[in-house]
Chains A and B, each alone.
Chain A
Amino acid sequence: MWLLPILIVLPTVLLSFPLGRYLAWIMDGKYKTPAAFRWVERQLNTGPQNWKQYAISMLLFSTVMFVFGYLVLALQPMMPLNQKDSVFPDGKGMLSPTTIFNTVTSFMTNTNLQHYSGEQHLSYYSQLVFVLWNMFTSAAVGFCALAAIIRGLRSDPHMGNYYLDMWRVVVYAFVPIAVLTGVPLMASGIPMTLEPAAEAVTVQAGAMGTDTVDGKDVPKPQVIARGPVAAILPIKHLGTNGGGFFGANSAHPFENPTSWSNWLECISILIFPFSLVVMFGRMLKQERHALVIYGVMMTMFVGMIGWAVYQDTLKPNPGLLAHPERTVKVPGADEKVAAPLAALPVDQSGVGNLEGKELRFGPSAGATFSAVTTAVTCGSVNCMHDSLNPLAGITPMTGMMLNCVFGGKGVGMINMLIYLVIGVFLAGLMVGRTPEYLGKKVEAREMKLAMLAFLIHPVMILGPTGLFAALDWGKAATNNPGPHGFSEVLYEFTSASANNGSGFEGLGDTFGFNDPKKNLSTPAPYSPHWDIATGLVMLISRFIPIIAPLALVAGLAAKKKTPFTSGTMRTDTFTFGVVLLGTVLLVGALCFLPAGVLGPVAEHYGPMPFGR
Chain B
Amino acid sequence: MTRHLRGNLLLLVLTLGVCCLLYPVVMYAIAQTFFPTAASGSLVTEKGADGKDEVRGSKLIAQPFTADEYFWSRPSATSPANNATASGASNWGANNPKLRDRVAQQIGPIVQYKKGSKSAGAGPEPRTPQKDIEAWFAADPTRPAEVEAAVKRVADWAGEFEVAAGNWAKTDYAAKTDTDDEKYGLQGEYIRQWAKDHPEVIEDWKKANPTKTDEPKPEDLGAVFFASFAKANPGKWPGVVEVEQPDKTKVKRIEPVSSDPAISSNLFEVWLRDPANAAKAADIEPVPADMVMASGSGLDPHITLRNALSVYQLDRVAAKRTPPGGDVEMTARGITEIARKQSFTPLGGLIGEPLVNVLELNRELDAKFPVPPPPKTP
Contact = CB atoms under 8 A, between A and B. Distances in A.
Contacts of A119: 85-87
Given A228-B28, A251-B295, A609-B97, A202 B64 contact: yes
A189 B296 CA distance: 19
Given A64-B8, A133-B20, A195-B40, A356 B90 contact: yes
Contact of B296 (A222, A384, A506, A520): A384
A46 B295 contact: no
B300 interface: yes
Interface string B283-306: 011111110111111111111100
B129 to A, nearest CB: 9
B57 A260 contact: no
A170 B91 contact: no
Nearest to B296: A251
Nearest to B291: A346
A288 to B, nearest CB: 35
Interface string A243-278: 000111001111001111001000000000000000
Nearest to B350: A3
B30 A382 contact: no
B144 interface: no
Given A248-B87, A347-B289, A356-B296, A202 B94 contact: no
Interface in B37-73: 38-44, 48, 54-61, 63-67, 70
Nearest to A85: B85
B141 interface: no
B84 A222 contact: yes
Contacts of B145: none
Contacts of B32: 192
Given A193-B39, A224-B84, A339 B94 contact: no
B41 A170 contact: no
Contact of A317 (B59, B63, B66, B293): B293
Given A200-B57, A224-B58, A248-B87, A357 B296 contact: yes
Interface in A164-210: 166-167, 170-171, 175, 178-179, 182-183, 186-195, 197-204, 207-209
B254 interface: no
Interface string B257-290: 0000000000001001100001001001111111
A50 interface: no
A387 interface: yes
Given A47-B3, A203-B359, A320-B100, A346 B27 contact: no
B26 interface: yes
Contact of B65 (A201, A204, A253): A204
Contacts of A248: 87-89, 296-299
B-side interface size class:
35 or more
A299 B39 CA distance: 40
Nearest to A600: B93
A346 B11 contact: no
A567 interface: no
B183 interface: no
Interface in B337-366: 346-347, 350-353, 355, 359, 362-363, 366
A57 B31 CA distance: 37
A355 interface: yes
B85 A252 contact: no
A60 B4 contact: yes
Contact of A231 (B23, B70, B90, B301): B23
A351 B352 CA distance: 8
A30 interface: no
A105 B286 CA distance: 48
Contacts of B351: 3-4, 259, 362-365
A340 B48 CA distance: 55
Contact of A387 (B48, B93, B347): B93
Contacts of A47: 3
B14 interface: yes
B24 A231 contact: yes
A87 B40 CA distance: 19
A144 to B, nearest CB: 11
A128 B8 CA distance: 21
Contacts of A383: 296
A231 B3 CA distance: 33
Contacts of B100: 319-320, 341, 344, 609
A501 interface: no
A359 interface: yes
B61 A253 contact: yes
Which 7 A-B residue pairings sit nearest by Cβ, starting from the closest? A506-B91, A251-B296, A192-B31, A259-B346, A362-B351, A248-B297, A354-B293
18 contacts: A57-B7, A57-B8, A119-B86, A179-B23, A186-B31, A186-B34, A192-B35, A193-B31, A198-B55, A222-B61, A224-B84, A231-B28, A253-B299, A317-B94, A319-B94, A341-B100, A360-B355, A609-B97
Interface of B: 3-4, 6-8, 10-12, 14-16, 18-20, 23-24, 26-28, 30-32, 34-35, 38-44, 48, 54-61, 63-67, 70, 74, 80, 82-97, 99-100, 103-104, 107, 111, 160, 269, 272-273, 278, 281, 284-290, 292-304, 346-347, 350-353, 355, 359, 362-363, 366
Given A44-B11, A347-B286, 9 more contacts: A61-B11, A163-B11, A189-B38, A198-B55, A200-B57, A208-B82, A251-B89, A347-B287, A359-B304
